[in-house]
Amino acid sequence: MSVPIRNPTWVSKRRLLEQKISDLHRCSSLNQVKQIHAQVLKANLHRESFVGQKLIAAFSLCRQMTLAVNVFNQIQDPDVLLYNTLIRAHVRNSEPLLAFSVFFEMQDSGVCADNFTYPFLLKACSGKVWVRVVEMIHAQVEKMGFCLDIFVPNSLIDSYFKCGLDGVAAARKVFEVMAERDTVSWNSMIGGLVKVGELGEARRLFDEMPERDTVSWNTILDGYVKAGEMNAAFELFEKMPARNVVSWSTMVLGYSKAGDMDMARILFDKMPVKNLVPWTIMISGYAEKGLAKDAINLYNQMEEAGLKFDDGTVISILSACAVSGLLGLGKRVHASIERTRFKCSTPVSNALIDMYAKCGSLENALSIFHGMVRKDVVSWNAIIQGLAMHGHGEKALQLFSRMKGEGFVPDKVTFVGVLCACTHAGFVDEGLHYFHAMERDYGVPPEVEHYGCMVDLLGRGGRLKEAFRLVHSMPLEPNAIIWGTLLGACRMHSATGLAEEVFDRLVKSELSDSGNLSMLSNIYAAAGDWDNFANIRLRMKSTSIQKPSGGSSIEVDDEVHEFTVFDRSHPKSDRIYKTIDGLGQHINKLTTSS
DNA sequence: ATAGGGTTAG
């Protein structure tokens, strides 16, 4: 019998599968991944570590962690690479606890962590609770002698600062006891101190350090910018021995955030080298402030300069459009994305949903949402919020239950949307139900935002006493929004006496702003108390200078129309207010007749 | 280790 010749079709099939496996990370749909998984099982390749790594990563990108874990369990003696892949998958899916349980499992089975394992774990540790975990990792790397490698203490400093205030002392300690410090160690300390708002100490270290590089200068510069001290920042900026694109961008952002777009533009024009970031900062700055013409001009220039934008650019500009209702620019950005790539990334789609919803184009928001390949919690939150905002409370609640059905875990933002949906649909009892269920059934303790929603829900539902009781009994300190909401409820039900009580609290806690003042003046006006009305209006004149009042804006044909409290500067102001009054009467008629 | 970036109540 002759030696069997390999079937050429079989060989090419096998090659094709291997190619598919190594391209798994490029798969855009769950079905494709499932198909390849089936082929892997048929070819009996599912016990290979490399194949497992690829499949786990691909399933985790589709949020199919059950499938990812199944793949993992098929492999008998997982190596460190496979463990790392699963750890990273859990971290990516915001499941730090599961990531750690895999890590412990790995230790129990005697597989040693490598230099990749700890960075993945450290990435899972953000937020206050996790400082203990950084401490645990710290102890382990210390025990294994990893701390002799300067890379390790440097990243520990960074991780401790990521724990917020709880980690600051430990970060200082690591820095103090380090055998040797390099510029990165100093810069990490300065950056961390800036992040937690310890600008003074950051500056002391900056002055103390033996050798400063441009990163050191940029970091301390950012500290002054974040503190809003633009004069000090500018002084530093002029003194710097060398400036790079980061230094200039930091200054441009600072002026933009301070509302000084002219100064931001002067520096932007002067920059010797620009990359995407300063362009993004400028366009977003204009867009956020409703300066549609400037934003669009610069956007055109950026396109003409042949710059291809990345996710950061797109997200930043879209969220600025959402703030000021620049639907026109938002649509242009959307069109540019569609031209340049096949599918949007999840964060970009999320930004699009939010932009369309906030600009009032719910159909577009919904079509982006339904067309998404990989939704995440944020996608659901954004669409639930968008539907709620536009009065589709019932639809929002339907999506909430679908979200759970598809295996997504609601978070605190989801419940803000859900409660908001109940308010807008007038579902007071459902709202109370969700409010009680969120901690009990979902492990999400209510925060001040949720109490705010409840005050609004009860207040609008005419259950003013319950709203008051909730505010007085809540375990958290009520903020200006809570009192303002309560004040609004008082106005709605002409409860002048209660309103005064609320307002006293606002004044005492120095939380009164022009919005709340105008609300109180409306209450007096409605009650015919013109003396108090005049009093409040006088007060508004003096406080409105200190505190900017809230408002809304909308873009029509590249022109932005802005509206703030008591503002009648719009040329069609009379007609607008007449229309609003008409609508109000119409609504009253409908609600009293039903 | 430094600059821009998604969802949060009135």
The domain ranges of chain A are 213-274, 285-374, 447-594
Rounded to an integer, what distance in angstroms lies between the CA atom of residue A194 and that of residue A454?
36
What's the rounded mean pLDDT across residues A265-273?
Answer: 96
Rounded to an integer, what distance in angstroms lies between the CA atom of residue A475 and that of residue A457?
19
Rounded to an integer, what distance in angstroms lies between the CA atom of residue A483 and that of residue A220?
38
Q: CB-based burial of residue A50 (10 Å sphere; 0-12 exposed, 13-18 middle, 19+ buried)? A: middle
pLDDT band at A594 (very low <50, low <70, confident <90, very high): very low
- Greater confidence, A11 or A501? A501
pLDDT above 90 for A254: yes
Nucleic strand B within 7 A of Cβ A482: yes
pLDDT at A25: 75
Residues with Cβ within 8 Å of A430's Cβ and at least 6 positions away in sequence, in order, are: A397, A422
Pair type for strands A559-564 and A551-556: antiparallel
pLDDT band at A546 (very low <50, low <70, confident <90, very high): very low
pLDDT tens profile A334-364: 998 888 766 788 899 999 999 999 999 999 9
pLDDT tens profile A356-373: 999 999 999 999 999 998
Instruction: Name the class of domain A213-274.
Output: mainly alpha
| CA of residue A137 to C1' of nucleotide B9, angstroms | 38
Radius of gyration of chain A (CA): 28
Beta strands in A47-102 (DSSP E): none
CA A460-A462-A465 angle, to 5 degrees, is 110
Q: Considering only residues 361-390 of chain A, list those whose CB is below 7 Å from strand B.
A: 376-379, 381-382, 385
Q: CB-based burial of residue A354 (10 Å sphere; 0-12 exposed, 13-18 middle, 19+ buried)? A: buried
What's the rounded mean pLDDT across residues A97-107?
Answer: 89
What's the rounded mean pLDDT across residues A23-33?
Answer: 75
Choose the most confident range, by mean pLDDT, from A83-92, A180-189, A475-484: A180-189
Rounded to an integer, what distance in angstroms lies between the CA atom of residue A28 and that of residue A198?
44
What's the rounded mean pLDDT across residues A30-54?
Answer: 89
Q: Find the nucleotide nearest A452 (Cα to C1′).
A: B9
Is A531 within 8 Å of A565 (Cβ atoms)? Answer: no
Is A591 within 8 Å of A363 (Cβ atoms)? Answer: no
- How far does Cα A106 stand from its chain's mean position? 33
Residues facing residue A155 across a β-bridge? none
| CA of residue A287 to C1' of nucleotide B1, angstroms | 31
Rounded to an integer, what distance in angstroms lies between the CA atom of residue A83 and that of residue A60?
14
Structure tokens at A113: 């962590």
Closest CA to A349 of A320, A318, A327, A328: A318
Is A174 within 8 Å of A156 (Cβ atoms)? Answer: yes
Q: Considering only residues 401-430 of chain A, list those whose CB is below 7 Å from strand B.
A: 411-413, 416-417, 420, 423
Rounded to an integer, what distance in angstroms lies between the CA atom of residue A299 and that of residue A559?
16
* Count of C-beta atoms within a 10 Å radius of residue A143: 9
pLDDT above 60 for A548: no
Nucleic strand B within 7 A of Cβ A245: yes
Share of chain A above pLDDT 90, in %: 53
Structure tokens at A458: 């009860």
Residue A66: CA count within 13 A, CB half-sphere: 4
Query: For residue A47, which amino acid is it?
Result: R
Quick one: DSSP state of residue A78?
-
pLDDT at A547: 45
| CA of residue A402 to C1' of nucleotide B1, angstroms | 43
Same fold, A213-274 and A447-594: yes
Is A167 within 8 Å of A133 (Cβ atoms)? Answer: no
Quick one: DSSP state of residue A129?
G
Within 7 A of a protein CB, which nucleotides of strand B?
A: 1-10
Nucleic strand B within 7 A of Cβ A278: yes
- How many angstroms separate the Cα of A103 from the Cα of each of A11, A71, A80, A136? 38, 17, 10, 12
pLDDT tens profile A270-310: 999 999 999 999 999 999 999 999 999 999 999 999 888 88
Q: Considering only residues 4-43 of chain A, list those whose CB is below 7 Å from strand B.
A: none
Under CATH, which architecture does the A447-594 domain have? Alpha Horseshoe (1.25)
Nucleic strand B within 7 A of Cβ A479: yes
Quick one: DSSP state of residue A555?
E
